[in-house]
A = this chain, B = another copy of it.
């Protein structure tokens, strides 16, 4: 194509580029192997945009999916799994509830282990049912796809992509146990790159660095429980030995929902594209219902409160404490809550089953945002410039909260330990102390000041992989080295060996020289010895 364009005048080419975008738009075909839950919600706008640019997307999902539903901009292919939608919903509810468990540490560890084990078994079973579904795989094989778009948090999409010999684009918020950095061969120095879920920052004390190092040394083994079944499954399906690392490193381009306003600056790789804040793009005007709530809030404005889609209810005592705190501030509070209504709910607090979070945060009357500090919420808070009170519950939420707090853009509270007064005071502080608004506005202006919108960037790189059947020129040669070669241990050993041998020979030569010199100083004895040795 580029050869054909050589003869076209630069003016015509420029015109084409303006109309069609880089290298023009064409109808490609994309296979999507997504992950249910909030992971899907962040990916869907990219698929929609790709559809608008003339591509066809086929989304493959188990028939038990909760969030992945029929939409006009993709074809949904469901495959049967031996569990129901309500089982998946139950795991989501259980995850949400577990955040409010006040168990002793040992019991919490056991419960978490069991929950992860059971949820993981369900997901592996789902993947197994996909990669053993001959009919579905045959139809995908005949589908003429250009690439696979998938979230490698559970690497089923990678197995499918390798089975179909298609390049893969990974779309993710990050992976536990530094698997994302292992998969991209991205250096990850534990001295200033805090491990995920460690609640550490990039400036660590000596003991924090020790802790980070210990996490680094053990994290790979900790993730084995979840990830090793996929390696086994892949080895079986692809009929060769496949490691977790192989599954991860298959991604041609990694679309990472991060940016360096929220996250600490760190080494990166050429095939990692930062699309943090991609979910802020889709804004709509408020519905009449919400417009009315906002307008009636008066000069004090509103506070938006959501603990995310995974938390459906809160223990009654905690809900009442929260309700009491919300009643102490003059703002109108819009609280997304599907649990039973706390009996002490104040007049200023409106419970809703769902709220247009990003649209509400974008309203100039919004004064604060109470959030569980999931990555979606944090980015929406940043891009709309709303100070936050953060109640992290699980996963990376504590890390997110710590980062925002350290930048002076919000206050973090422990949801289990906080009192009603703590929450009310935190809200009053972020609303009334100017520094919080100033800091979040500064972060917002940095976050939004970028050469290209993250959604356009994501679409560009998906199309790039579709156009070029991958991105091998961005794949570092580190993938072809063993761990000891990568760290030059063989080279260091060899050079040390040379130094040792040289030192040894030099030492021996010196010793020999000394003996000679010593011999000259005591000629009689030496001559005698030499004579003796010669006569032997």
Contact = CB atoms under 8 A, between A and B. Distances in A.
Interface of A: 1-3, 6-7, 10, 22-23, 186-187, 189-192, 202-203, 206, 209-210, 213-214, 260-261, 264-271, 274, 283, 362, 364, 385, 441, 444-446, 448-452, 456-457, 460-461, 464, 467-468, 473-478, 480-481, 485-488, 490-492, 494-495
Given A23-B449, A265-B271, A441-B2, A206 B491 contact: yes
Nearest to A209: B491
21 contacts: A2-B441, A2-B445, A6-B364, A10-B283, A22-B450, A23-B448, A189-B478, A190-B491, A191-B485, A191-B487, A191-B491, A192-B480, A206-B494, A209-B488, A210-B491, A213-B488, A261-B473, A265-B473, A265-B474, A267-B269, A268-B268
A452 B449 contact: no
Given A265-B476, A449-B467, 17 more contacts: A1-B445, A22-B451, A187-B189, A189-B486, A190-B488, A191-B481, A191-B486, A192-B480, A202-B477, A206-B490, A209-B490, A210-B491, A213-B488, A260-B474, A265-B474, A270-B274, A451-B457
Nearest to A476: B265
A468 to B, nearest CB: 6
Contacts of A452: 451-452
A192 B476 CA distance: 8
A214 B476 CA distance: 22
Contacts of A446: 468, 473
Contacts of A441: 2-3
A200 to B, nearest CB: 11
Nearest to A7: B364
A287 to B, nearest CB: 16
Given A3-B385, A441-B3, A451-B456, A187 B190 contact: no
Contacts of A473: 260-261, 265, 446
A441 B495 CA distance: 42
Contact of A210 (B6, B274, B385, B494): B494
A340 B60 CA distance: 70
Contacts of A492: 213
A477 B192 contact: yes
Nearest to A446: B473
A501 to B, nearest CB: 15
A451 B274 CA distance: 13
A283 B10 CA distance: 8
Contacts of A491: 190-191, 206, 209-210, 213
Contacts of A468: 445-446, 449
Contacts of A385: 2-3, 6
A189 B476 CA distance: 11
B265 A475 contact: yes
A467 B448 CA distance: 13
Nearest to A492: B213
Contacts of A364: 6-7
Contacts of A22: 449-451
Contacts of A444: 2
A464 B261 CA distance: 14
Nearest to A444: B2
A203 B474 contact: no
Nearest to A192: B477
Contacts of A269: 265, 267-268
B449 A464 contact: yes
A214 B460 CA distance: 41
A444 B3 CA distance: 9
A452 B10 CA distance: 17
A182 to B, nearest CB: 14
A138 to B, nearest CB: 32
A473 to B, nearest CB: 5
Contacts of A481: 191-192
Contacts of A264: 476-477
Nearest to A186: B267
